[in-house]
Amino acid sequence: MSNDFSPLIKPLTIGRGAKAVTLATPVILAPLSGVTDLPFRALAKSLGAGLVVSEMIASWAMVRENRNTMRMAEVVAGGGPSSVQLAGCDPDAMAEAARIAVANGADLIDINFGCPVKKVAVGQAAGSALMRDEMHAARILEATARAVDVPVTLKMRMGWDHNSLNAPTLARIAEECGIAMITVHGRTRQQFYEGVADWDFIAQVKQAVTLPVIVNGDITTEQKAETALRRSGADGVMIGRGAYGRPWFLKQVADYLTTGKHTPSPSLSEQKAILLEHYRAIRAYFGEGPGVRLGRKHVAWYSHGLHGSAAFRAQMNRLDNGAAVEQLIHDFYDPLIGAGFVRQDEMALAA
């Protein structure tokens, strides 16, 4: 990387007026069902994420004030903006859910036109299914944008399949409906998460609108973030699976895209401390029993790439006591820390 590196990202303002939101660094934590709960979002934000987005929230459940749904939609207190992502196929329900989310502290509302899961896209005619009906999609976008005074954003895919790559068209519709930013995952619905994200296609969306556009999909290293931005022409990046077990990764990406310099990962001792903080926050938030179960996947992700991690995960998954899991974490990490072991993130992602 040369000394005359030009920053690839800059502060990004979403929306207009008094409720516009400015991201100091547009490196965004993706909405991930079963992953980006409040403890994870709070940790990612504290470690430098430019914006965090809730798990996908069903609009009808929000309107009915389902207890679990309202918990999923809680926003992180203090220190930068938070977004709540809504999914649904009824414009009125989406509008009402947006009003509820804003009343509860959301700085932005994100609309999901990207979820590929059969239960959502087929069973509920929501998520990525809405890309197949542009007129109905427009009704949802317009109703939601009109319902609240905070910026409303949209996350979608390239299209339903490769015979209907209509993201540029839908992006223009979204802009006309009052949407303030668009994120595009570089796959179709039919691809789910297979194949490779097409960052080049996202350039067509960027060229179709004057709105900020965010590139999403397969961003697991700083170099891939740079390539995704250069090929898409996007204004920022959204990171999902690349943050599993690495909540500090978003800050590394932000630093790299701003300065061209790599920020080292935390030491293994620091990673252990972050893991324990995260694990305790999960149990405190969800309760001991549910927290132990929900925490297993996170503990497993943190351990990927470490010597003996497969055996560690197998043993951890048999434990149902949080204190016992914590002791196992100490027993696993401390010898590695003492030996000066360095976790290799690329190895971790492949594990």
Residues acting as catalytic residues: 115
What is the signed CA dihedral for 40, 46, 47, 52, rounded to 10 degrees? 50
| H or E element in which residue 100 lies | helix 91-103
Q: Which residues pair with 182 in a beta bridge?
A: 154, 213
* Distance, CA of 273 to CA of 323 (rounded, Å): 15
* Distance, CA of 351 to CA of 258 (rounded, Å): 29
Confirm if 232 and 304 have CB atoms less than 8 A apart.
no
Confirm if 189 and 150 have CB atoms less than 8 A apart.
no
| Greatest extent of the chain over all pairs of C-alpha atoms, in Å | 61
DSSP-based three-state secondary structure for 124: coil
- What Å distances lie between residue 197 and 109, 217, 224, 255, CA to CA? 25, 5, 11, 23
Angle (nearest 5°) at CA 248 between 245 and 253: 115
Question: From its phi and psi, is residue 239 left (phi > 0), alpha (psi between -120 and 50) or beta?
Answer: beta
* Distance, CA of 83 to CA of 147 (rounded, Å): 16
Confirm if 92 and 69 have CB atoms less than 8 A apart.
no
* Distance, CA of 203 to CA of 309 (rounded, Å): 40
Q: Are strands 21-23 and 12-14 parallel, antiparallel or unpaired?
A: antiparallel
